[in-house]
């Protein structure tokens, strides 16, 4: 839909493409010349960058049309295209004579102006502005009636040219002197004069040549009067001091100005700043630069803009902790106690942290790898950083890097920019007033970059122990030693951490909590979630009791996470409802037991359901185990065959790696068809279809290889697969079983679903130590190295069929309760 300005379109109107110019851009006038490379030319160069105007110019060139130059009424936001109502109604018609396309999205042209034009109608269509204009015919032949006015204008311009010799060339003055028409004379004086944008537009819009020339003369006289006033002031100042010595002259002038402005007390303030700089403990270069800036400050009037910029810079130099440190107190026993108080579980990460602190205690220097805590949301990465700061006696600074895309966030802006400040590294040190805090760079995997720079590249210097002792912030522009700062970073995944950054860090994985660890965090841990929420909601321990089964139901049916944030929110919801009930009934001694039976009354229907184990032994169905960011789970892999052409179909949103596992499993079975008594016609005259349920969820990874092979072989041979056994392992074309990751989480998921027989690669035996002993001892582990071993374990003989039903999640929850009760700390 086009947008139009309100004017009546006359019959004699001409349609022209519009090039919109910013309000402060130079103003063009009819049939005027321009100065190009110190020469007077009939054409003017013009570079067009705005997409709409470029399109208008190209349209004019293609259609052999002239263009209309219109100025905007006001400055628009960056990247905002002007609308018809944003432009003035009178502009200049011009011819494009020398177009050049640099192929960078802009267009360079040379234009020759011809006439004024009044916009009757302006339309935005096809991506550019087009105007219907009335060409204004200049009134000529009035030179005789305006001789005295023309003479006065030439005289004023001659004086103006003498006052601005760099702006007005001799050729320009000669060219203007030969013009006799008042309108053309006014336009050329306006073209070469330095007048405000609003005045230039007024000249353009004045159609009467006599009035236009009068207006230009008034502008020239006003400029000359201003120059005379400046000269008079300059002469008065120059005569007030001796001319024999320049330095003495400047000193006297400064003193005279200071006396007039009442700045006597500012001398004391300058001396105080010098004293602060000398006592700040700055480096030699920083102190030298600060004193130099203070000397400049002393010579500049306080009301000037430069005075504020210099004072702000000096204040920042003084605010940075150049020598202030906190005393590091690394006691391994105390650090271990603090970590155990603040975090349950996470034994491996805490052990790595303690090892790192032990090295720091021995070498008494931070230089070394930067710690990077990697794990899913909510597992305690940020709070672990705070605990490390508490254990080492350091102050804590946190900087979130999520979404940061400007390098200046790290290194600051240069002082040439208005409102420039140091980067957030220097700001953080200023806030804690110590040069050796623990600096946590949160969410380092979520850094971005754009045309303003790449902040990850700026962090390379910050996180490199060999470079950060000479860190240079763009704003301060002096070296600052960051080698005493202990940097710790966090991330949700290693995949999006820039490789150069990851190379500078020691990665510590935080894999997430198991259901049993979450249960203990909620109850037994000294700073457990339930005691903490009871306290924050004003409840007593007698007011509410959580049954173990209820806690497991909250974990399994109302949350799906690796951390405990949602678990804490669910407990908070229950506490709020209990608090409301106590207040409503005015019964402070109220006691409510939260069990699986009444949990729905407080949290509503269950939000999630766990995958249940198969209830019967079936053909073509095997049970696998998966690991995600929110923990482990089991999954049923289904396979079936049907008459066809030997096609292989895969459904259930299987991603590239998992699809390759399917192809590998089928290739292995085809190559060993004789060993498994499989007719070769099966692969030629029958189609094989593989499906993994929950088709809306993408699935990937090679660890389902043996599960896929077992399901396919079962479907082909008609043999049933045991319902009470789960498996995980990558398969090769030769049938070897390769190791996988996430064994702990996968085993817990199987146990939670009542499966106590697990097939695993024998190379994963080392990972059994990560599985809690109360679970590990109740599972039968089958370690295999070849797919034939898997088939022997997973397939049933007809006499061995299981007629019972696999235990449900509720049954396992009761088992879990028993285990927790027996092993709780």
Residues annotated as catalytic (active site), given as ranges: 703, 746
**Cα 653 to Cα 668: distance, rounded to the nearest angstrom:** 23
**Cα 229 to Cα 231: distance, rounded to the nearest angstrom:** 5
User: Contact 55/4 with Cβ under 8 angstroms?
Assistant: no
Give the residue among 686, 316, 302, 661 at the shortest CA–CA distance from 477. 316
**Cα 126 to Cα 129: distance, rounded to the nearest angstrom:** 8
User: Contact 335/391 with Cβ under 8 angstroms?
Assistant: yes
Tokens 């999006």, residue located = 496
Count of all residues that appear for the chain in the document: 825
Helix (H) or strand (E) holding 553: helix 548-553
- Cα distances from 424 to residues 177, 406, 436, 470, in angstroms, run 60, 11, 15, 17
User: Contact 177/208 with Cβ under 8 angstroms?
Assistant: no
- Cα distances from 159 to residues 149, 217, 221, 223, 425, in angstroms, run 16, 12, 9, 10, 57
Phi, psi of 133 (to 5 degrees): -125, 155
The tokens describing 376, both together, are 């899913």
Cβ burial, residue 661 (10 Å; 0-12/13-18/19+): buried
Phi, psi of 338 (to 5 degrees): -65, -45
Three-state secondary-structure class, residue 149: helix
The tokens describing 400, both together, are 């979130």
Give the residue among 141, 145, 171 at the shortest CA–CA distance from 39. 171
- Work out whether the CA dihedral 185, 191, 196, 201 comes out positive or negative: positive
Alpha helices in 320-440 (DSSP H): 332-342, 347-363, 381-392, 408-411, 424-432
- Cα distances from 772 to residues 347, 575, 728, 744, 805, in angstroms, run 12, 31, 19, 8, 27
Three-state secondary-structure class, residue 615: coil
**Cα 356 to Cα 375: distance, rounded to the nearest angstrom:** 19
Tokens 């070296």, residue located = 479
Q: For the stretch 340-363, what's the b/e string if a residue is b when 16 or more beta carbons lie within 10 angstroms of its beta carbon? A: eebbbbbeebbebbbebbeebeee
């Amino acid at each position: 839909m086009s947008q139009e300005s309100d004017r009546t379109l006359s019959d004699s109107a001409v349609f022209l493409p519009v090039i919109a110019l910013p309000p402060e851009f130079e103003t063009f006038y009819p049939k005027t010349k321009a100065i190009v490379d110190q020469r007077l030319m009939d054409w003017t160069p013009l570079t067009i960058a705005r997409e709409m105007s470029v399109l208008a110019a190209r349209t004019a060139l293609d259609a052999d049309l002239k263009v209309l130059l219109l100025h905007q009424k006001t400055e628009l936001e960056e990247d905002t295209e002007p609308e018809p109502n944003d432009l003035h109604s009178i502009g200049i018609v011009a011819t494009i004579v020398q177009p050049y396309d640099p192929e960078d999205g802009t267009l360079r042209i040379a234009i020759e102006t011809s006439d004024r034009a009044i916009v009757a109608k302006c339309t935005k269509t096809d991506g550019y502005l087009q105007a219907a204009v009335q060409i204004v015919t200049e009134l000529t032949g009035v030179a005789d009636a305006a001789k005295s006015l023309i003479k006065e204008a030439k005289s004023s311009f001659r004086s103006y040219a003498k006052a601005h010799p760099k702006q007005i060339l001799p050729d320009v003055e000669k060219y203007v002197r030969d013009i006799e028409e008042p309108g053309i004379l006014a336009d050329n004086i306006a073209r070469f004069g330095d007048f405000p944008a609003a005045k230039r537009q007024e000249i353009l819009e004045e159609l009467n040549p006599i009035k236009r020339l009068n207006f230009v003369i008034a502008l020239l006289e006003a400029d000359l009067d201003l120059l005379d006033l400046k000269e008079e002031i300059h002469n008065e100042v120059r005569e007030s001091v001796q001319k024999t010595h320049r330095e003495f002259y400047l000193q006297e002038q400064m003193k005279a100005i200071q006396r007039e402005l009442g700045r006597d007390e500012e001398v004391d303030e300058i001396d105080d700043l010098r004293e602060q700089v000398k006592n700040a403990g700055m480096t030699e270069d920083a102190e030298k630069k600060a004193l130099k800036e203070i000397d400049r400050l002393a010579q500049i009037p306080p009301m000037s803009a430069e005075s504020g910029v210099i004072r702000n810079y000096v204040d920042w130099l003084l605010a940075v902790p150049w020598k202030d440190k906190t005393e590091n107190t690394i006691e391994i026993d105390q650090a271990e106690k603090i970590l155990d108080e603040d975090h349950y579980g996470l034994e491996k990460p805490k052990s790595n942290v303690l090892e790192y602190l032990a090295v720091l205690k021995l070498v008494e220097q931070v230089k070394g790898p930067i710690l990077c805590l990697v794990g899913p949301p909510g597992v305690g990465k940020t709070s672990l950083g705070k605990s490390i700061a508490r254990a080492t006696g350091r102050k804590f600074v946190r900087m979130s890097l999520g979404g940061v895309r400007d390098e200046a966030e790290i290194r600051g802006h240069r002082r040439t920019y208005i409102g420039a400040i140091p980067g957030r590294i220097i700001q953080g040190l200023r806030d804690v007033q110590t040069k050796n805090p623990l600096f946590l760079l949160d969410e380092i995997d979520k850094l971005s970059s754009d045309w303003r720079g790449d902040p990850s590249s700026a962090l390379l210097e910050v996180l490199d122990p060999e470079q950060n002792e000479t860190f240079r912030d763009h704003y301060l522009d002096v070296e600052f030693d960051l080698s005493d700062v202990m940097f710790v970073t966090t991330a949700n995944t290693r995949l999006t951490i820039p490789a150069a950054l990851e190379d500078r860090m020691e990665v510590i994985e935080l894999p997430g909590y198991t259901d049993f660890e979450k249960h203990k965090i909620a109850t037994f841990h000294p700073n457990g979630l339930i005691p903490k929420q009871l306290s924050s909601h004003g409840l007593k321990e007698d007011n509410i009791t959580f049954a173990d089964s209820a806690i497991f139901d909250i974990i399994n049916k109302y949350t799906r996470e690796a951390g405990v944030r949602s678990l804490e929110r669910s407990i908070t919801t229950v506490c709020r409802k209990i608090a409301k009930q106590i207040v409503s009934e005015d019964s402070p001694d109220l006691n409510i037991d939260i069990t699986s039976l009444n949990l729905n009354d407080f949290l509503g229907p269950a939000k999630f359901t766990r995958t249940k184990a198969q209830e019967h032994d079936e053909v073509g169905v095997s049970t696998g185990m998966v690991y995600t960011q929110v923990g482990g789970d089991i999954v049923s892999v289904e396979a079936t065959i049907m008459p066809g052409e030997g096609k292989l179909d895969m459904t259930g949103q299987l991603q590239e790696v998992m699809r390759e596992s399917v192809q590998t499993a089928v290739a292995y079975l085809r190559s060993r068809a004789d060993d498994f008594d499989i007719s070769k016609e099966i692969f030629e005259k029958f189609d094989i279809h593989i499906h993994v349920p929950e088709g809306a969820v993408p699935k990937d990874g090679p660890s389902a290889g043996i599960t896929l092979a077992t399901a396919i072989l079962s479907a082909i041979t008609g043999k049933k697969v045991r319902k009470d056994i789960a498996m995980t392992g990558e398969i090769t074309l030769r049938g070897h079983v390769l190791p996988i990751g996430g064994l702990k989480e996968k085993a817990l998921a199987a146990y939670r679903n009542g499966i106590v027989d697990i097939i695993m690669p024998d190379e994963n035996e080392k990972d059994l130590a990560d599985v809690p002993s109360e679970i590990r001892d109740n599972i039968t582990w089958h370690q295999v190295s070849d797919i034939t071993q898997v088939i022997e374990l997973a397939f049933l003989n007809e006499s061995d069929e299981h007629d019972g039903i696999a235990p449900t999640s509720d049954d396992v929850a009761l088992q879990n309760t028993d285990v927790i009760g027996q092993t709780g700390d």
